[in-house]
Structure 1
Amino acid sequence: MRAAVMFGAGDVQVKEVPDARIAQQTDAVVRVTHAAICGSDLWRYQKLQPTPDGVRVGHEFIGVVEEVGAQVTSVRRGDLVLAPFKWSDGTCEFCRAGLHSSCLNGGFWGGELDGGQGEAVRVPQADGTLVPLPLEPADPRLPAVLALSDVLCTGHHAARAAGVGPGATVVVVGDGAVGLCAVLASARLGAERIVILGRHARRTDLARRYGAVEVVPERGADAVERVRALTGGHGAHAVLECVGTGAALRDALDMARPGGAVGYVGVPQDGEGVDVRRFYRRNVTLAGGVTPARAYVPVLLPDVLSGRLDASAVFDRTVEVDGIPDGYKAMAEREALKVLIRP
């Protein structure tokens, strides 16, 4: 089968790889119908050291079950399913607590395992991972559903971690797909006023469609000053950090009002920390981390299917498997926000 393999920074190739097949009786094999390139994939695309054997990539996909192991009971051949960006068993103590991202027997797609950017995937722990969908493979709502595999759940996690609710003033740091989904999630949770930090008109225009009322193009101290001016000098109730750099997190903390909260979900990239004195005296809460997408999908899916929660517009380019390298290039050069893959 064909799949995307990354051999180093800027080097993604589509290669023939071994077919996905059952290895454990808790596995399923899924033929991919929809996949995506994630902003977090770009960090590796920009930094990966040369790797002769390459690494498989991709962690967002929908597909049709082709085969199941003898112990799989929740899905069967022919089912259309969504896979969250991390697989989990659904039964360990952390899964039972709704923290599937910390599953004792889970893991991430790609690396030595099949990645979602290919024709098929072996899914470990299929019962705890896959979400059956009441749709046909040609349903036009599937791009909106695909957003639940990562970015929409991640935006929701940021909003939940920061306690977004009715009447809240929210600032979203970052205008990538996760930041835009954080806007959408905040609007769903009843935020009264949403501000987004961003400089790209196509993205900030979409943020306004999703519920943002103000755009702050500044960065650093200028952005903090602007946000405070917009919020009566106090800062926001909730700030959602959707970038992943130390600078973005520090700015987010400075934008929160006393007693406010920062929900951080940007994958940390530079290892830069923050001085706790930056927010200690203001009693600002810092919460977030890796999104337990498998816990959120059942909660959000009904709103996605009804059209109330539609993040499909973040996909602004579509490629086939052979076009995946061009999709990476387009996103890296900001010619595309998020690329949809249709094998």
Structure 2
Amino acid sequence: MRAALMYQAGDVRIENVPDSTIKHPTDALVRITASCICGSDLHPYHQMTATDGPARMGHELIGVVEEIGSEVTTLKKGDLVVSPFAISDNVCEFCRENLQTSCIHHQAAFWDGIADEGGQAEAVRVPLADGTLVKLPVAPDSALIPSLLTLADVFGTGYHAAKMADVQPGQKVTVVGDGAVGLMAVLSAKRLGAEQIILMGRHRARTDLGREFGATDVVAERGEEGIARVRELTGGHGTHAVLEAVGHMPAYEQAIGVVRPGGVISRVGVPQYEDAPIGFGSLFGRNIHLAGGPAPVRAYIEELMPDILDGTIEPGKVFDAFTDLDGVPAGYRDMDERKSLKVLIRP
């Protein structure tokens, strides 16, 4: 079968790899019908060394169950399923607390950490299939597939940012970052009833989509100028919640600058800083809360799916480019160069 492999920074190739097969009785074999490139895939695209490659890529996928292990009980051949980016049994004590990213039986196992498997491929072996996979009540060619695919990561991640910030009706929210996760955070804050949603971004096509998703204001300025603009828009106080969807230190510093006393900074951008003295003096004096982390998107799928199925929301609008597997290397380049917001792949 064919799959995307990253050999080192900037070097993504489509190659033939061994077919995925059932290895454990709790596995399912899934033929992938839709996947995509994630903004977090660009981190190794910038940084991976040749000694770390080649690595299978992709952690967002929809597909058809082709085969199940002997202990799989909730799935059957022919089911259309969506897979979160984290593997979980969905029954352990952490899963029951909606923290599937800390599943005891597959702790911190993301698709990018599963050897020889990945979502940017023709097929994939899914461990702990009963807990990980969620059946979809549509056909593989449904017009809803792009929106349903966002449940695998990007929508659930944006929603996690808003939930961890405890966004409430009538509150003011700032979203830092106009990438796909930031736009999903805007949509999520709107869904939870935020009254004012300020999107900090400078790419017009993206911020226009942000307005469609519910942003009331757009701030293109960065740094101190951007902070001053947000405070001007909020009567000088800042916002109750700041959803940081970038992961770089300047974005976090911007978040500190625009959060109001007693507010929450919720971070879901994969941190690209290791030793920063975060959360001490900068937050203590104003009673600022720091929240966020890798999103347990499995916890949100059943909650968010009905709004997609009935057309209330259309998160799939974040996909602005479409390709087959052969176009994946170009898709990485286009996302890296900001020619594309998010690329959907149909193998």
TM-score (norm 1): 0.98
Contact 2:243 2:267 in 1 (8 A): yes
Aligned CA RMSD, in angstroms, stands at 1.1
Q: Deviations over 1:257-304 (max 9, x none)?
A: 111111110001132522521111111111110101001111111111
Contact 2:8 2:53 in 1 (8 A): no
Count how many residue pairs are aligned between Structure 1 and Structure 2. Answer: 343
Match for 1:142 among 131, 135, 145? 145
What residue number does 1:332 align with? 336
Q: Does 1:268 align with 2:271?
A: yes
Q: Does 1:298 align with 2:291?
A: no
- Distance in 1 (CA, whole Å) between partners of 2:206 and 2:217 is 13
- Distance in 2 (CA, whole Å) between partners of 1:232 and 1:53 is 50
What residue number does 1:254 align with? 257
The code of the aligned residue for 2:4 comes to A
Match for 2:161 among 158, 162, 166? 158
- Distance in 2 (CA, whole Å) between partners of 1:147 and 1:268 is 21
What residue number does 1:75 align with? 75
The code of the aligned residue for 2:58 comes to G
- Distance in 2 (CA, whole Å) between partners of 1:308 and 1:265 is 25
Q: Does 1:99 align with 2:99?
A: yes
TM-score (norm 2): 0.97
What residue number does 1:315 align with? 319
Contact 2:237 2:260 in 1 (8 A): yes
Q: Does 1:110 align with 2:147?
A: no
SS of 1:26's equivalent in the other structure is: coil
- Distance in 2 (CA, whole Å) between partners of 1:186 and 1:15 is 40
Q: Does 1:175 align with 2:174?
A: no
Per the TM alignment, residue 147 of structure 1 is displaced from its structure 2 partner at its CA by: 0.5
SS of 1:25's equivalent in the other structure is: coil
Q: Deviations over 1:29-86 (max 9, x none)?
A: 0000000000000011011011475000100000000000000011110000000011
- Distance in 2 (CA, whole Å) between partners of 1:53 and 1:268 is 21
- Distance in 2 (CA, whole Å) between partners of 1:52 and 1:264 is 27
- Distance in 1 (CA, whole Å) between partners of 2:275 and 2:249 is 5
- Distance in 2 (CA, whole Å) between partners of 1:8 and 1:56 is 12
Per the TM alignment, residue 225 of structure 1 is displaced from its structure 2 partner at its CA by: 1.2
Q: Does 1:222 align with 2:234?
A: no
Per the TM alignment, residue 104 of structure 1 is displaced from its structure 2 partner at its CA by: 1.6
The code of the aligned residue for 2:98 comes to G
Contact 1:246 1:271 in 2 (8 A): no
Gaps of 5+ in 2: none
Q: Deviations over 1:89-146 (max 9, x none)?
A: 1122111111001112221113414100000000000000000011111110010000
The code of the aligned residue for 1:108 comes to F
**Deviation larger for 83-92 or 264-273:** 264-273
SS of 1:159's equivalent in the other structure is: helix
The code of the aligned residue for 1:284 comes to I
Contact 1:317 1:336 in 2 (8 A): yes
Contact 1:245 1:272 in 2 (8 A): no
The code of the aligned residue for 2:93 comes to E
CA gap of 1:98–1:275, structure 2 versus 1, over 3 A, is: closer
Contact 1:254 1:278 in 2 (8 A): no
Q: Deviations over 1:178-225 (max 9, x none)?
A: 000000001100010111000100000000111111111111121111
What residue number does 2:190 align with? 187
What residue number does 2:285 align with? 281
- Distance in 1 (CA, whole Å) between partners of 2:45 and 2:159 is 26
The code of the aligned residue for 1:136 comes to A
Contact 1:39 1:177 in 2 (8 A): yes
**Deviation larger for 24-33 or 302-311:** 302-311
